[in-house]
């Protein structure tokens, strides 16, 4: 009985299906989607190739288009002064753990093996409250 995950025995955890009694749980790695050119705001959420990260990306996927649009719209209203991640998240009422990947996506980054994205914002060298400032390109 392994209790590394919140005191729940292996035989009672569910990941991608029901585990048989005594069956060891293993994570699955990321398999890239087929090539294509999805539009900017319809792309999948970024994640690392581990099942828990993929599960989190699938959970947030229905909201990412709206969140990316909101982050971009907020930065447009900020003008050339831009905003830090903290300022963006406070204005939108979202967690920095939710806002950071949206900024990362809008900067044009894409995980390895996925199609590149068009950058709409960039990080400047300026810092406010020890945080980098994002501006619209």
* pLDDT reported for residue 51: 76
Rounded Cα distance between 99 and 60, Å, is 12
The answer to whether the pTM exceeds 0.75 is: no
Q: What is the pLDDT of residues 8-56, one digit of tens each?
A: 554 444 444 444 455 555 555 555 555 554 555 556 666 666 777 778 7
Domains of the chain (ranges, CATH numbers): 38-136 (1.10.10.10)
Question: Residue 17 has what pLDDT?
Answer: 47
Conformational region of residue 74, where left means phi above 0, alpha means psi within -120 to 50, and beta covers everything else: alpha
The CA–CA distances, whole Å, from 38 to 27, 41, 62, 63 equal 28, 8, 15, 16
* CA dist list (Å): 94 to 30, 34, 71, 99, 133: 27, 31, 10, 7, 17
Could you read off the pLDDT of 79-88 as tens digits, one per residue?
A: 999 999 999 9
Helix (H, G, I), strand (E, B) or coil at 11: helix
Contacts 24+ apart (CB under 8 A), 23-28: 27/51, 27/52, 28/54
pLDDT at 11: 47
What pLDDT shows up at residue 19? Answer: 47
Give the largest Cα separation in the chain, rounded. 59
101 vs 96: CA distance, rounded Å:
9
Look at residue 54 in the predicted model and tell me its pLDDT.
77
Give 55-108 pLDDT, tens digit per residue. 877 888 888 889 999 999 999 999 999 999 999 999 999 999 999 999 999 999
Element (H, E) at 83: strand 83-84
- Higher per-residue pLDDT: 131 or 58: 131
Q: What pLDDT shows up at residue 47?
A: 64
């Amino acid at each position: 009985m392994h209790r590394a995950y919140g005191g729940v025995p292996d035989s009672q955890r569910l990941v991608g299906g029901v585990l048989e009694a005594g069956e060891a749980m293993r994570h699955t790695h990321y398999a890239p989607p087929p090539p294509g050119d999805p539009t900017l705001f319809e792309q999948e959420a970024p994640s690392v190739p581990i099942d828990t990260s993929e599960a989190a990306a699938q959970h947030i996927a229905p909201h990412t288009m709206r969140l990316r649009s909101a982050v971009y719209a907020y930065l447009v209203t900020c003008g050339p002064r831009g905003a830090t991640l903290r300022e963006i998240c406070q204005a939108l009422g979202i967690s920095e753990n939710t806002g950071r990947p949206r900024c990362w996506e809008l900067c044009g980054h894409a995980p390895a093996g996925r199609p590149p994205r068009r950058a709409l914002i960039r990080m400047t060298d300026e810092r406010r409250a020890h945080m980098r400032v994002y501006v619209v390109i």
